[in-house]
Amino acid sequence: MSSVTCELCPRGCVIPEGAAGDCRIRVNLGGKLRATTYGRPSAIHIDPMEKKPLYHFHPGAQIFSLATAGCNLHCLNCQNWQLSQRGGEEMEETYRAEPADIVAAAIEERCKAIAYTYSDPIVFYEYVYDTSVLARERGLTNVFVTAAYINREPLRRLCRVIDATNADLKAFDDGFYRRVNGATLKPVLDALVTFREEGVWMEVTNLVIPTLNDDLAMIRRMSRWIVSELGANTPLHFSRFQPQYRMRNLPPTPADTLRRARTEALDAGLRYVYIGNVLGDAGSSTYCPRDKTLLIGRSGFTITDYNLTADGRCPTCHDKIPGVWS
């Protein structure tokens, strides 16, 4: 019986023959590691780009979004747990969609981009990679929505074919990662730096959970780290928690908590800080950091105002606004 060691994520699972990695979908069959959900997604939707959320990357575009079963994190508050916390053999339905099928479907649906999302696409790495290569050849862009719990070398290779990412930074606290997500903080920070080094457009999401990671001092430390390691132009999204899965004992995040977090992050030097999952909040719109001109107004996932110039500048001061606008 020959076991294999997975090198994809920091868990480094040692997998005996006939067993799966911690992610449930990378399985040792016959002494070789198999990607059992390659070409077999269990979720396919067309979403607005703002749902990822990406606010500085092709705003308003439709994005073809897919996921397979499995995940290498086990967040107590997972919103897609029916998908992420199950193996492929436990899914009632899988679609047969090879990379070429996905690209063809995205083009047919007039999507500009493909998102690998919902569960963590790290675990269906090979499917992401091959689909992304084909998508690029056909003029589509690739978006990787992830918790960034991945080793550096696989990530560097993936970055060659990924155009944008929204990466979760769930808390600036290793204990939180261990207790709530079944992971650790440092590999996530390393991955975010790698995304930046490799030139992938990156926005960061922090889901604020009452009493667990809403401490303003921690949010300040996290924001300062983003400024120093990723850059002040990195958009940061503070997202509202909703009780679900194994964390139904806590209330939804009050809007005021998110507003205080946003103020703290702006004070720390970040220029683009957003509030998510609060319908109609002014903090979900984009403003010019210099003169506060409303650049992109949003309500939910809908764009209500668009005042950027064609080349992505503020119409008042003509400062270049960082992002991928065309």
Partner 1 sequence: MTVQIKTWHPREVRFVGLIALTLLGMALYLGDGLRLASRDGSGHRVIDIQALERRIEAGDLRDREALWYHETRPDDGGGRSVP
Residues that bind partner 1 (CB under 8 A): 2-8, 10-16, 18-22, 24, 26-27, 29, 31-40, 87-90, 94, 96, 125-126, 129, 151, 153-154, 184
Tell me which amino acid residue 2 is: S
Closest CA to 209 of 174, 166, 176: 176
Give me the least distance between CB of 30 and partner 1, in Å please. Answer: 9
Nearest alpha carbon to residue 183 among 76, 264, 306: 76
Cβ distance to partner 1 smaller for residue 6 or 212: 6
Q: Across the chain, which distance is largest between two alpha carbons, in Å? A: 68
Question: Which CB atom, from 37 or from 253, has the smaller least distance to partner 1?
Answer: 37
DSSP label at 74?
-
Amino acid found at 318: H
Could you tell me if 78 and 248 are in contact, meaning their C-beta atoms sit under 8 angstroms apart?
no
Q: How far is the CB of 24 from partner 1 (least distance, A)?
A: 6
36/286 with CB nearer partner 1: 36
Question: What are residue 285's phi and psi, to 5 degrees?
Answer: -100, 160
Q: Residue 251: is the preceding peptide bond cis (ω within 30°)?
A: no
Complex with partner 1: residue 135 or 150, whichever CB lies closer: 150
Q: How far is the CB of 253 from partner 1 (least distance, A)?
A: 29
Minimum CB separation of residue 76 from partner 1 in Å reads 15
Chain position carrying tokens 């919103």: 79
SS3 190: helix
Shortest Cβ 168–partner 1 spacing (Å): 18
Close Cβ partners of 261 (under 8 Å, ≥ 6 residues apart): 206, 208, 214, 216, 219, 238
Tell me which H or E stretch contains 36: none
CB of 4 to partner 1, least distance (A): 5
Cβ proximity to partner 1: between 36 and 253 the closer is 36
Per DSSP, the residues of 76-107 read: TT-TTHHHHTS-GGG-S------HHHHHHHHH
Of 110 and 179, the one with the shorter C-beta distance to partner 1 is: 179
Q: Can you say whether residue 128 is alpha, beta or left, with left for phi > 0 and alpha for psi between -120 and 50 degrees?
A: alpha
Query: CA 93 to CA 34: how far, in whole Å?
Result: 20
* Residue placing its CB nearer to partner 1 in the complex, 89 or 311: 89
Q: How far is the CB of 166 from partner 1 (least distance, A)?
A: 23
Q: Please, which residue, 154 or 297, has the CB nearer to partner 1?
A: 154
Nearest approach, Cβ of 68 to partner 1 (angstroms)?
Answer: 9
